[in-house]
Structures are given as C-alpha cells and as structure tokens.
Structure 1
Amino acid sequence: MEFTHSPLTDAAATEERRSLLRASDARPRRVGPLRQATVAAVLAFTFGAAFVVTAGPDLVHGTNEHAWLALSAVALAALCGGWFVSAHLHDSSASEAASAIRATYAEASDGELNYLVAMKGEYPEIGHAVRQWMALSLTIRTRDIRAVRAWVTRVEPLRERSRLLSKLAD
C-alpha cells in the first residue's frame, strides 16, 4: 500500500487554517457587536426583572391584576434562558473547534517527530515520503503526523495478516 500524503507549504497551510477558522462552526454567533449568549442573558435578566416589578405588588397585596403580564415575563425569561444555554453551548463548541483547527496546523511536537522517526525506520514508504518532504524544506505539522498514524493504522493489520499467512505456509 502506497503512502501518498504530502504536507502543505507554509503559505498554503496558513491560508487553509484561516479559511477553516472563518467557517461558521469555528466562530461564536453574534448579534451586532455582541455574542448571542450575552444578548440572551441580558434579555433573560430583563424579563426576570419585569416579572419582579409586575408581580411584586400583586404578591404583597394579594391581588392578581397584572398576573398575565407577570406570566408573560416569566415565559419570555424562560425562552431567553433557553436561548442563552443554546448560544453558550454553541460558543463553547465553536471555541473547541477553533482550538482543534489551530492544533492541527501547528508544527509537530518533539514527541510526534519521535513517532515519525520510528515509523520512518519501520516503513520504507514513510521514509521515502519524509526524505521528499525534507528535500523540499516543508514544515512537518500535526496534520502530517496524523496522516502517518492513519496510514499505519490501515496498513499494519494487512501486514500482520500477510506475516501470519507466510508463517502458515512455511
């Protein structure tokens, strides 16, 4: 099985990383200059305060003149609270997605390079590819190490099976 992954140049990696970070999944939702979660929290607080203002005198005096207004404020506060939770969850998943993108396009760590050296010695296909990368002075990134890991994960069971079959044939 042939190893065909090729790393990106620095300019191409930077451009691809920027385009992925601009995607809607990697950015928090906004309402004007504010995050959606902030707007929802402010509205929930405002409607909660409206409930206290409208229901407060009724609760003290035992009347229910403004009960419909108080219940409307509670319903709106609950809806805005749900909106806040939804927006907050999206913001946190967006920040996780952005972190994952940045990590993918970061330069490979020493541990990852040690893994690459080990795989280069074990698999001639990877050794040949790494020599080509070094000849072109390409930066080895985490995405390249992940491609090597994926290839090894696909190839190793096939090679192990062929070793076992050759032992059976002997």
Structure 2
Amino acid sequence: MTINIKKNIKVALGTFGIVIFAFFALQFTQSGSTALKIKKGSHIILIGNNLGSRMMNYAYFETELYLRYPDSMLYIRNMCDGGNTPGFRAHSARPTPWAFPGAEKFQTELAKSPDSEGFNEYPDQWITRHKADIIIALFGYNESFEGPKGLENYKAELDAFIKHTLSQKYNGKSAPQLALVSPIA
C-alpha cells in the first residue's frame, strides 16, 4: 500500500514538474514576438505522445492556464496519445495512420495498410472541429529511441509537421500559433 502511495506521489510530482516546465516555456521566450498570444476565448489544443497524454491524469497544466488567464474563457483540449509522432497518429477506426499528407515517408516500417475500418476523423479534422488557435505539440521522446541514426529523419518529420500545421486554418481564419515542447530528460 505504501509503495503505491509513494509511486503516486512520484508520478504527481513528475507531472507537476512537466507542467511547470511547459508553463514557463509558454511564458518565457527569447523574443517577445515569438511568445504565444493567449486571448479571450482562445482554443488551445495539445497534441503529442505519452508525455502529454499522461497530463490528462493530472489537470495541473489546464488549472495553471485558467489561474493565469481567469477571464479569458479558454477552451483547452488534450488530444495526446502514447506512441504518436509528428506524422504517425494511428487509430483503429481510420484506414491510415498518417497525420498529414506525405507523413508515411518518415515511418517506412509502418507504411502499410493497417486493414482498419471505421469512421474516426483524421487529426486535422479533429483539430478543425475544435477550431484551434494555439497548438502545443509534445513530440520527441518516442523518436529518441532511434538514437543518433534517427535524428535526421526526426528533424525532417518535425519540419514537415511544422510546415503542414502552419499552412492550416483550423479556426477558419488564420494559421495557428504553434509551440513545440521537447521531451523531458
């Protein structure tokens, strides 16, 4: 019993540390022109791998945003899922796992039909449904297991993801603001 309590405390403290890091990443940037502009009614969508997915278990990040912007009526959705990469976001109810056109070239071992059937929308459709003004992307941890030999492929995949994301108008008006959160140590 005490082992579970200690484990839960460690998980909670670890998650809190991640949230604080992400929060400060939002607040402090190298240039004032690159800071996220959080306005009243902003729609903030988190996408990424298990780092972000685990944040669903503890609402520290969302709570901190609401505390910092109490009158902003923020709309926050966490769409992170373990195993996701910038271009690979599989779902059993979609015929292909690719997050954007051309993403299959970065994951050749997975570039096959999953024989899935269903009607789950693709990531861009979900993000559009939520009218994203700001996207916070948490990628890099899964890709780190490819080691130094996988670095160039990850850079190319991330670059393609950034270009694709910034070319969209999920909110129907303008390209989203994009913040990249690197994996923890």
Q: Answer with 1 or 2: which has the greater Rg.
A: 1
Scaled by the length of structure 1, what TM-score is found?
0.23
Counting helix residues as a fraction of each chain, which structure ranks higher? 1
Scaled by the length of structure 2, what TM-score is found?
0.22
- Relative contact order higher in (CA < 8 Å, ≥ 6 apart): 1
Counting strand residues as a fraction of each chain, which structure ranks higher? 2
